[in-house]
Amino acid sequence: MTADVGITTGTLEVPGARLYYEVRGTGPLIALVGAPMDAAAFAPTADLLAADHTVLTTDPRGINRSPVDDPDQDSTPDLRADDLSRLITHLDLGPAAVLGSSGGAVTALALARTRPDQVHTVVAHEPPLVELLDDRERLHAGTDDIIATRLAGDVTGAWSKFMAQAGIALPEGAIEAMFGGERAPHEEADELRWFAHELRPTTHWRPDPAGLRSATTRIIVGIGDASAGQLCDRTSRALATALGGEPVLFPGDHTGFVDDPAQFTVRLREVL
């Protein structure tokens, strides 16, 4: 259980979008960012961190409560990093620590590359940096097929292909149970936007290891201790190697902060 935490909500106008964000607690600033996960996914972890941090969470552009002017514009890591930079500037509490997970980890790395003055520590939890892998061409082709499947209207087929490529094993019938039934309109819209305008630019983004090594920002690469053999385990280990270090294990798998926020937060406090 967590104590009741006061939440301040706001909307920030940025080029081409209006970003919904939430702020909890007081103390040093830490931002929790996902892509496509929105602020709600990080709420339990944010509540726990708010005991001694100011915690920023946000819906990425085009997701849930953060509408965009051009629905056909791709959501690139650099564009999302600029959004995060503007939020940090708006709060005027930086430099910040940033926990980014999945596509949000790529966002955080992009911010460290472009605005290292705004982020003193990045915890990059399982970034899908396919460009760092030797078999990237095969994986990019697989991603293109996944996207085409979803855009053709085959929701469960796209998710089945996605999970297979990601190396995530689910119980029989789980895909149908999770994605085959009726869902909230914003969930379906967010999913479609992710497939159509976010998945490809995120997995094609290539970090600059030399630049990240020389930057003032401390980079910590996190991997779920239950993610062994999964695609993001491979990409994260490739990033850690490129940065000349070792990855740090976190409880759970790719969504460990959702499945067990208490244990995840304990580990996050340790590495910070």
End-to-end, the C-alpha distance of the chain in Å comes to: 22
- 244-257 per-position pLDDT tens digit: 999 999 999 999 99
- What pLDDT is attached to residue 1? 39
The whole-number average pLDDT for the span 125-131 is 98
- 188-216 per-position pLDDT tens digit: 999 999 999 999 999 999 999 999 999 89
Bond into 36 cis (ω within 30): yes
CB-count burial class (<10 Å; 0-12, 13-18, 19+) for 20:
buried
Minimum mean pLDDT among 116-120, 164-168, 173-177, 260-264: which range?
173-177
- What pLDDT is attached to residue 174? 93
Q: What is the mean pLDDT of the chain?
A: 96
pTM to 2 decimal places: 0.96
- What pLDDT is attached to residue 232? 98
Nearest to 176 by CA among 163, 167, 189: 163
**DSSP bridge partners of 99:** 32, 123
What percent of the chain is predicted at pLDDT more than 90?
94
Minimum mean pLDDT among 1-10, 37-46, 125-134, 256-265: which range?
1-10
Angle, alpha carbons 152-196-135 (nearest 5°): 95
Q: Is the pLDDT of residue 2 over 70?
A: no
H-helix or E-strand spanning residue 124: strand 119-125
- 74-108 per-position pLDDT tens digit: 999 999 999 999 999 999 999 999 999 999 999 99
| Confidence band, pLDDT 50/70/90 cuts, at residue 181 | confident
